[in-house]
Amino acid sequence: MSTSRPPTPSTPASKIQRTPTVTPGGSSRAQEEKILVTVRVRPLSKRELAMKDQKVAWECADSQTILYKGPQQDRAAPTSYTFDKVFGPACQTDLVYEDGAKDVAMSALTGINATIFAYGQTSSGKTFTMRGVTESAVRDIYKHIENNPEREFIIKISAMEIYNENVKDLLRPDSGPLRLLDDPEKGTIVEKLDEEIAKDSQHLRHLIGICEEQRQVGETALNDASSRSHQIIRLTVESRLREASGCVKSFVANLNFVDLAGSERAAQTHAIGARLKEGGHINRSLLTLTTVIRKLSSEKRSGHIPYRDSKLTRILQLSLGGNARTAIICTMSPALTHAEQSRNTLFFATCAKEVTNTAKVNMVVSDKQLVKHLQTEVARLEAELRTPDRASSSDILARKIKQDGNGDGRATEATR
């Protein structure tokens, strides 16, 4: 698939303000921002190097630009693509995380929903990249917790895979297919999806490892361990000031790590039987994702957005044009034999960088904390009323009214 004209250069999304603001008093105001889109070009694989007359068709011109160097078969197809960041074959995953995911991922620690996607054709390095990104994020989350002892953090994990359009709980693999339900406040939820509290970083890594082991994989002509499902690992991050502070509001946010199955062509993967069926489901759900992204990237952004056409887009609707900060890492092969699939990946990435999300700080009031706060306030007022040296109860009432912001002169009149 190709675009009719080269994408025009625009201000990199990494230069746009990416911190949703919080108004005085704790309420949040939505902050519009573009999806952060980066592209990682992997080295040629052993299979590609073994092929006769294999050529490199793509190269990184600089830290933001990818150039096509292969034979020009479609004159209308662009030869240059610009993104927030481009990582060449020699780039390490740590740098991909630092420049392409860390800022978005760490938003979850301050009550902002965040999602990190890995997108690309089969065998392009998505799972390798996402595992490294997830590990680095877990490290930084617990480093942040250690550096902020005044706050109490709770980290919960849930995980699912979408295999042949069935949703499966990766923490409880014997639970069977799960249903999707519509919640008026949370949006689409997965019914009976298990969630566990992580005791510490090692426990969280252990649970993530269990989820990765349960994921459906299979051998194809392009990949010995090809992911046959979309995997979503979700961390729910809750934090509040310690009880002594008297604060009743808590931050709560979801951090999604989404490792998509790769688009594939049966002619290249030589898939038959179950593998062919899996590939069909993967391609259809990715086509829906591409359609959603393309429609959201339109300037008019009008008409029906087909979120409900696949379970993937339905589950991740908030991350696509909604209340979340989103980063997409697109992975691709530089090989000429995969030039068309790589171009499709770049077309997707070009559309994605035009999608605008409206993230905000999510706060909740703990009933338990609120009750404690009110009990403390009542006890304080009763103590003031019982103290003979204090002013009269009417004076106490007047001061209270003034503290609440209504003492602009009317409080004095009220006590006369």
Binding residues: 120-127
Binding annotation for ATP: 120-127
Phi and psi at residue 199, to the nearest 5°: -75, -35
End-to-end CA distance of the chain, in Å? 79
